[in-house]
Amino acid sequence: MEFIGRENELAFLESEYARKSSYVAFIGRQGFGQSAILNVFARGKNAFFFSALIETENKCRRRFVRYLEKYTGAAYLKGKTFESWEGLFRAIGDYKPEEKKLVIIDDVQFLIESNPNFFAILRKCWDEFLSEKNLMLITAGPIMTTTVRHYSSKDGLFKDGVVKSLQLRAFHFLELRVHHPTLTFSQLVELYTFTGGVPQYLDMFGHGDRIMDDLEEQVMEKTGARYEMPLQMLEKEVREPATYFSILDVIAQGNSRLQDIAKALELQANYLGPYLSLLIKLNLVERRVPVTEPFPGKSRKGMYCICDHFLDFWFQFISPYRVELEQRNTKYVRSILESQYIEKLVKPSYMEVCTEIFLHMCRNGNIPFSATRTGLHWNGDNTSHIDLIAIDSVNNRLFAASCYYLREGQQAPSDAYADLVRKIAGIEELAGFEDVSYGFFTNREFNPTLISLANEKDNIYLIKDIDLL
């Protein structure tokens, strides 16, 4: 995939590079494009670039020396053995001290696997002498079992603010739209549905205009390059992958509450806490609560969902049909996907897209609303659901919206406004707002009745694709 976007990340790195010395820990899920960004950033700079591999620590240091010898041209390094990392980092720091240097250590997770104290050693070297050199140090690696404690604990890498953190995110929907101008809005929503804007997943789909064919060839076919991608990813990122696989599997099958997940797995709910916590830190799962909950962390309405779009697809439409796919019955599995993916995958993703479009319109002044909170709402038994709620707690204002992702020829219903008003009236927490606005999003057309109603009322907003009607 061509390098796109990442202007904010590159600008941050350039600002840190402009300082005399700087240490940045670059964090992101595997497949988010860390290495690509670092290669772009290093262009034209006096850069030493080292990528760690799965190997013993001694072998890694010997390979580091070879790279350092090539970088510096120092004859004394040829065949030299270093018994510690400190000597290597001193050699880097002492090389041409008058020149600005960029030192990048990529895939640092492999160094931590060979020596769990690597970050502590590197931080000690930074504090004692590297921070006084004219250089920028970048360590890059994914959030995974071996690294999460270094990134998240109180005494970890960022304990005192000396080391800056840059956490890589997936592309937003509107960023994808800029870089896929030939796709229709609906095609783009469906591309986002299966990828969530993750570069590694986007790379599967080429131009994004033959999604089902690409999924059949790369994921459903037993010989496809992505047939077992989630299994391989879990094996790399977590210990006890079978347990994590089982948790993701039962969540994908509709068990979203903690007690339901535990029951499906025949485990105690308190046993699952550490596993769900790590899945959340890995950005594979998220816990959602209704936006009206005053204390989200303590809410009993919390629901767990798979927030990695490709994994959500895989566990809903590939994992349950592994027997059929092993027998190469891909057409059968594809037919199931084509008949159900709009309801099970696209519509939930479209609600994310609508939230992004709404916030974009608020920032641009198209919708005069300042949201302090945005999210979903559902009642206790999940029988009533509002797709998007935004609250302006400063001005006591409410914005509520329904999102209609439709097939060709369908229209957003004429009773959409009455239905949304009825839902809001039934939610006690939404009573008392002085100003209520209503939004309706669709990828197709609005019913003429709803258009006429919007023309009569100034608190109704109709958004087709990304355009305010």
pLDDT score of 157: 66
Beta-carbon count within 10 A of 64 CB? 21
DSSP code at position 303: E
Q: What pLDDT tens digit does each residue of the chain (469 aa) get?
A: 556 678 889 999 999 999 999 999 888 777 788 888 999 999 999 999 999 999 999 999 999 999 999 999 998 898 888 989 999 999 999 999 999 999 999 999 899 889 989 988 999 999 999 999 999 999 988 776 556 666 655 555 666 777 888 888 889 999 988 888 899 999 999 999 999 999 889 989 988 789 999 999 999 999 998 999 988 888 888 888 999 999 999 999 999 999 999 999 999 999 999 999 999 988 899 999 999 998 888 888 899 999 999 999 999 999 999 999 999 999 999 999 999 999 999 999 999 999 999 999 999 999 999 999 999 998 766 667 899 999 999 999 999 999 999 999 999 999 999 999 999 998 888 988 989 999 999 999 999 999 999 999 999 999 999 999 8
Torsion sign across C-alpha atoms 273, 275, 276, 282: positive
Look at the pTM and tell me if it is higher than 0.75.
Answer: yes
CA dist., res. 332 & res. 31, Å (int): 30
Whose CA is closest to 252, among 321, 202, 197? Answer: 321
Encoded tokens for 389: 């709620």
Level-2 CATH architecture, domain 7-167: 3-Layer(aba) Sandwich (3.40)
- Fold identical between 7-167 and 367-468? no
* CATH dotted code for 367-468: 3.40.1350.10
pLDDT score of 150: 63
pLDDT score of 403: 97
pLDDT score of 303: 94
pLDDT score of 147: 64
241-252 and 229-237 helices, crossing angle to 10°: 130
CA dist., res. 340 & res. 212, Å (int): 13
Please return the burial class of 2, using the count of CB atoms within 10 Å of its CB with bins 0-12, 13-18 and 19+.
exposed
pLDDT score of 3: 61
Q: What is the 3-state secondary structure (H, E, C) of 380-423?
A: CCCCCEEEEEEEECCCCEEEEEEEECCCCCCEECCCHHHHHHHH
CA dist., res. 149 & res. 334, Å (int): 40
Whose CA is closest to 123, among 71, 74, 159, 76? Answer: 159
**CATH 1.10.132.20 for domain 184-345:** no
Q: Is 53 helix (H, G, I), strand (E, B) or coil?
A: coil
pLDDT score of 134: 93
CA dist., res. 293 & res. 124, Å (int): 44
- Tell me how far apart the terminal alpha carbons of the chain are, to the nearest angstrom: 35
Beta bridge partners, 137, equal 23, 103
Residues in the chain, overall count: 469
Measured in whole angstroms, how far is the alpha carbon of residue 444 from the centre of its chain? Answer: 28
Encoded tokens for 347: 């519509």
Encoded tokens for 11: 């600008």
At residue 236, φ and ψ (nearest 5 deg) are -80, -35
Domain spans of the chain? 7-167, 184-345, 367-468
Cα R_g (the chain), whole angstroms: 25
pLDDT score of 33: 82
Measure Cα distances from 64 to 48, 113, 380 in Å. Answer: 10, 16, 57
Strands 397-404, 385-392: pairing is antiparallel
pLDDT score of 153: 55
Encoded tokens for 295: 């204390």
At residue 75, φ and ψ (nearest 5 deg) are -65, -30
